[in-house]
Amino acid sequence: MSGNGSKVTVATTWLDGCSGCHMSFLDMDQRLVDLAEQIDIVYSPLVDTKELPEQVDLGILEGSISSDEDLHKAREFRARCKLLLSLGDCAVNGNVPAMRNPFKLDDVIERAYRENVDVNPQIPTEGVPALLATVRPVHHVVDVDIFVPGCPPHADTIHYVLTELIAGRTPDPGRVTRFGA
Ligand code: SF4
């Protein structure tokens, strides 16, 4: 992966996940300082930038596709990122969010917003993205180039994958991580 002589640009976002994969990214700790010499995080919940650039070298998606907003974000990342990476089990196989798939969406909403609520139960209609009927992993809606399983993937795994990509090599995440690791 080349940043055209300059730093490799990286964008990240979370879809339907718990943010734990991003926390694992931060767990690279001191190594982030070294990585900052080689990568430029141009868009992420971890930085202030609010606009996804038109062209990005590497896009990293945490979480699964559960809502119309997730779907839009995944498509936008795919359109603008040369390489797209699914980070963590929720992105790779649906994981925890997909546990609602055996149930009808109306029943899930009823359970979450009425049956389990003691005070003012109501189903929100404004300010929340519309849920899709089923939760899907990222590669079911857009092409994904690199899969990094784990819940979350260990910081060492994320560091390995990033350094391999920066060096222009194809990482083999299966050597260092597995589902649920
Ligand atoms: S893979 Fe695990 S740590 Fe990552 S977003 Fe999903 S539940 Fe959270």
The verdict on residue 118 lying in a domain is: no
The verdict on residue 125 lying in a domain is: no
Residue 27 pLDDT: 97
The verdict on residue 12 lying in a domain is: yes
Residue 33: which pLDDT band, with cuts at 50, 70 and 90? very high
Residue 176 pLDDT: 84
Q: How far is the CA of 88 from the centre of ligand 1 (A)?
A: 6
Given a cut of 60, whether residue 42 has pLDDT beyond it is: yes
Q: How far is the CA of 21 from the centre of ligand 1 (A)?
A: 6
The verdict on residue 116 lying in a domain is: no
Ligand 1 close to Cβ of residue 89 (< 6 A): yes
The verdict on residue 114 lying in a domain is: no
The verdict on residue 107 lying in a domain is: no
**Model pLDDT for residues 67-122, shown as the tens digit of each residue:** 999 999 999 999 999 999 999 999 999 999 999 999 999 999 999 999 999 999 99
Residue 5 pLDDT: 61
More confident: 136 or 175: 136
Question: Nearest C-alpha to atom 2 of ligand 1 is from which residue?
Answer: 151
Give the domain range for residue 83: 8-97+136-175
Helices (H) and strands (E) in the chain, counts: 6, 7
Q: What is the mean pLDDT of the chain?
A: 94
Six-digit token string for 112: 């979450």
The verdict on residue 88 lying in a domain is: yes
Considering the entire predicted model, what is its pTM? 0.94
- d(C-alpha 13, C-alpha 70), whole Å: 10
More confident: 50 or 162: 162
Average pLDDT over every residue of 16-39: 97
- d(C-alpha 181, C-alpha 175), whole Å: 12
Q: How many domains does the chain have?
A: 1
Given a cut of 60, whether residue 146 has pLDDT beyond it is: yes
Question: Nearest C-alpha to atom 5 of ligand 1 is from which residue?
Answer: 17
Residue 26: which pLDDT band, with cuts at 50, 70 and 90? very high
Q: Specify the CATH number for the domain of residue 93.
A: 3.40.50.700
Ligand 1 close to Cβ of residue 152 (< 6 A): yes
Percentage with pLDDT > 70 across the chain: 97
Using alpha carbons, select from 63, 66, 53, 117 the residue that is nearest to residue 90.
63
- d(C-alpha 44, C-alpha 54), whole Å: 14
Average pLDDT over every residue of 156-173: 95
The verdict on residue 181 lying in a domain is: no
